[in-house]
Structures are given as structure tokens and as C-alpha cells.
Amino acid sequence: MYRDGYALVFSGGIGSALGLLYWMVAAHSYDPLLLGLNSAMISAMMFLAGVSQLNLASAAVRFLPTAGIATRRFVTTVYMLTLGSAVIVSLIFLAGLGIWTPTLGFLRNIPGFAVAFTVATMAWAAFNLQHSILTGLRRAVWVPVENAAYSLGKLGLVLVFASLFPKWGIFASWTAALALALLPTIAFIFRRLIPRHIQVTGEDIAPPSWSNVTRYVAGDYVGGLCWLAATTLIPIIVLEQAGPAANAYFSLSWVMVAPLYVVSASMGSSLVVSAVYDTAKLKTLSYRMLLQTWFLVIPVALLLIIGAPYVLRVFGGNYSSHGTSVLQLLAFATIPGTVNTLYINLARVQRRMRTVATIFAGQSGLVLGLTWLWVRPYGLPGVGLAWVVSQSVVAAIVVAHALKGIRSAM
């Protein structure tokens, strides 16, 4: 459990370090207005990719460890469903651009851009799905390798594309680099990892029925969509309410904080994979994993709160002056967020999918609603405050519910 958890955290660390370097290069190579537009495009693409996954990534983590001889069929099915859904979702989004986000209307007007955007959405959906497939196969140690290949490719391409595509080079580099990691990993999964997994698990484990998978996905999908909306639609709201430059300042602050949520999610995924084998140890494993998560998240969050103006200065003076407050608030919000993420993954092990959906919906509804209300009167600090309030309120409810359960058991 610790090995796979820390492998996923290490993967996030690689992506974050190289991602920080990537955005430093982008900030110094592109005007804030262009960076804001490209960032909004990337956020829209990530949101659509997440929608098209149908939350099969979560199902892969939950059911692949016990898939046995059905592993190859399971993996193939989730790939096909994800890619097909990505095409449909992208076409719907592009057809309604004038309704969802008029500022990105150029996606449909520039020849070839719609096709490139659709392909990018498919690739991003498959890329993130692979992280969960590797985790479910209990080979999360390969996730850092895949992430490093992608992050290095993206960093190299943003330098090249700054002169070739001076307006859209950020989005082009972000998506073109996916080919460097996507195709080799698919080949590795099917040729080596799946045969090994089948050999280890063999016929001693009963493969999951698709009815169970469907019920699990249906409940978890609602929650997954809510969290996806909270993390990818905020830049769209900021873009439409405050403009491209403000979105550039917010986006780079979010880049600094997002890895802390990845740490919580990574530890939670490893908990799920390990706990499905022995639910009797769930409380002990959950407690240990919460301590491990706090050990990693809290010190970094405090460093970001204290050093926010100095950290953002690497992107340029404007980013430090406009983004310090929102970065400090976003960093603080990750601390109560660890409690919420752990409780969600505990509920996943127990298949309490209504609880999962409720927690995600509470977080998302609060942060999106408060951001919409506060970004105009309070600026970017209003966005950070929305995250603090949403995470803290939900965490307080979760802790109160957990304590009530402990008292009832006693």
C-alpha cells in the first residue's frame, strides 16, 4: 500500500516540478492574455476528458485487482468506452460553444482546430485512464515513468512551439506530448502487465460482474463529475467574469496547489487497492494513510502560505502581485481537503456510493457557487476563499459524522 501510494505521489511530484518549470517558460514566452486563453482551453479539454471517462478510472482502481482472467477484456472495454465517449462529448461542446463559453468560440472558427481539440480530448482521457489501470494492476511504480516522459516532452515542445505557434503553442505542446507517453504505455500494459496480472491472480479470484461495475460507476460518476467541475470549470468562470489576464494569474496559483490534491488522491487510491483484499483492516489502514497524507500535505501547504509572494515571483512580478493572496488561500484549503478525500476513498471500499456522491457534490456546489458570487466583488482572493469555505465546511460535516459513528459503535 505504501509502495504504490508513494509511487503515485512521486509521479505527482515529477509532474509538478516539471510542470512548474513548464509554466515558468510559458509565462516568460507568452503574453498573460494568451496564457490565460490557452489555460482556459486546456481546462475545457480536461473537463471534457473527465466527463468522457464515465468514471471508469475509479472502477479500474476498484475492480482490476480482482479481475483475474477477465483483466484483458475489462481493460479493453474501458479504453473503448472512454475514447468513444470523448468523441461524442467533444462534438457536443464544440456545437454549443456560443452557449457554454463564447470567449473560446475560435475553437470552431479556425480550420482544423475542432479536430485537433477532439483528438486532444481523446488522448487526455486515455492518458489519465492509464494511471488508474496501472494502479489497479498493482504496478503504480510505472506511473512516474509515464508522467516523466510526458512532462519532459511537453517542456521541450513549449520551447519549440513558442516560435512555430506563437499564439497557441501552449495548448499545442500540452497535447502533442501525449503521444510520447500514451502509445508506449498502452503496448506495455497489454503485452506485459496484463499477462503477469492474470498469471498472479489466475482463476482463484472471481472476476467482477459488469452489473456490479455498472452500479459502482453510476454512483461514483456523479461524484467524479462534481469534483471535475470544481477543478476545471473555475478557470472558465474566472475567464468569463474577470478576463484572460486574471485567469492567467489564477491558473499559475492553482498549478502550485493542485499537486497537494494529487497527493491525497494518490494515497486514497492506494488505500482502495489494498483494502479490497482485507476490509477487516480498513480502519487501521485508513488511519495510517491519513497520517501519511498529512505528513506530506501540511508542511508543503504551510510553505506555500508563507512563501507565496516569493514562489510566484519566478513567473514574473505581475504574477506575484496579483496571485499571492489566492495562492495562500488555495494552499490552506488543501489541509481540510485531505480529510474529505480520505473519507471518500474509505466509502469507495465499502461501496457507499451515495456518500461519495454527496461529499463531492457538497464540495463542488459550494466552490462553484461561491466563486461565481465572489470573483467580481472580491477578485481572485474571492476564488481562494470559496475553496477554503467549501473544503472546511464539508470536512467539519465529515468529521462530525465519523465521530457519531464511533460513539454509536461504542
Give the tens place of pLDDT for each residue, 360-369: 888 889 999 9
Length of the chain: 410
- The neighbour count for residue 389, using CB atoms within 10 Å, is 16
pLDDT at 409 over 50: no
State percent of the chain over pLDDT 90. 12
Helix (H) or strand (E) holding 280: none
Average pLDDT over residues 394-406: 78
CA distance 70 to 76: 10
- Alpha helix locations (H) across 177-281? 178-188, 194-201, 210-232, 234-242, 244-275
pLDDT at 127 over 50: yes
* pLDDT, position 270: 74
Place of cell 487501521: 284
The rounded mean pLDDT for the chain is 81
Q: Are 249 and 322 in contact (CB under 8 A)?
A: yes
Lowest mean pLDDT among 51-65, 115-129, 361-375: 51-65
* Cell numbers for 6: 508513494
Give the tens place of pLDDT for each residue, 166-199: 778 888 888 888 887 888 888 888 888 888 878 7
* pLDDT, position 410: 41
CA distance 12 to 288: 20
Give the tens place of pLDDT for each residue, 309-325: 888 887 777 778 888 89
pLDDT at 389 over 90: yes
Average pLDDT over residues 247-276: 79
Q: Name the band, by pLDDT with cuts 50, 70 and 90, for residue 332.
A: very high
pLDDT at 130 over 70: yes
Average pLDDT over residues 212-233: 74
> Nearest to residue 328, comparing CAs of 222, 267, 254, 236?
254
Average pLDDT over residues 261-278: 74
pLDDT at 284 over 80: no
- Most confidently modeled of 41-55, 145-159, 249-263, 380-394? 380-394
> Nearest to residue 235, comparing CAs of 50, 101, 377?
101
Average pLDDT over residues 248-256: 83
Which residues, in sequence order, are CB contacts of 138 under 8 Å at separation 6+? Answer: 4, 65, 197, 273
Tell me if the pTM is above 0.95: no
Q: Name the band, by pLDDT with cuts 50, 70 and 90, for residue 382.
A: very high
Give the Å distances, CA to CA, from 59 to 227, 279, 302: 16, 17, 34
Average pLDDT over residues 28-40: 78
Give the tens place of pLDDT for each residue, 74-102: 888 888 988 999 999 888 888 887 777 77
Lowest mean pLDDT among 40-49, 130-139, 216-225, 246-255: 216-225
CA distance 343 to 340: 5
pLDDT at 299 over 80: yes
